[in-house]
Amino acid sequence: MARNRVRDVEEAAIDMTPMLDIVFIMLIFFIVTTSFVKEAGIQVNKPEANQATKEPSANIFIAVRANGEVWMDKRMVDVERVAANIERMLAEQPTDIVVIQADKKAEHGVVVEVMDQVKEAGIDKISIAAETN
pLDDT tens digits along 99-109: 888 888 888 89
In terms of residue numbers, what domain contains 53? 48-132
Are residue 116 and residue 80 in the same domain, yes or no? yes
Residue of 5, 74, 81, 84 whose CA lies nearest to 37: 74
Higher pLDDT, 7 or 59: 59
What pLDDT does 9 receive? 57
Query: Do residue 99 and residue 68 come from a single domain?
Result: yes
Domain total in the chain:
2
Q: Containing H/E element for 100?
A: strand 97-102
How much of the chain, in percent, has pLDDT values that exceed 70? 77
Q: 62 and 8: one domain?
A: no
| 125 lies in some domain | yes
**Which helix (H) or strand (E) element contains residue 7?**
helix 2-11
Do both 116 and 60 map to the same domain?
A: yes
Residue 39 lies in a domain: no
Handedness of CA 129, 119, 60, 126 (dihedral sign): positive
Determine contact, residues 98/127, Cβ cutoff 8 Å.
yes
- pLDDT over threshold 70, residue 6: no
Same domain, 70 and 10: no
DSSP H or E segment with residue 115: helix 108-120
Element (H, E) at 24: helix 17-33
Do 40 and 62 touch, CB atoms closer than 8 A? yes
